Amino acid sequence: MSDKLVIKTPKEKIEALAKELESNPETSNLSVVLYIVAGATILGEEAQKSLAVWSATWANSVINEVEAIREEEVVDELSKKIIEGDKNKNE
- The ranges of the chain with pLDDT < 70 are 1-5, 7, 86-91
Same domain, 31 and 55: no
Q: Do both 34 and 51 map to the same domain?
A: no
What's the CA gap between 66 and 22, in Å, rounded? 24
Q: Is 27 left (phi over 0), alpha (psi -120 to 50) or beta?
A: alpha
Pair (55, 87) in one structural domain? yes
37 and 54 belong to one structural domain: no
Coil/strand/helix, residue 4 = coil
Range of the domain at 57: 44-91
pTM higher than the cut 0.85: no
* Predicted local confidence at residue 68, as pLDDT: 92
Write down the pLDDT at residue 57: 92
Residues 49 and 38 reside in one and the same domain: no
**Alpha helices (runs of H) in the chain, residue ranges in sequence order:** 10-22, 28-40, 45-90
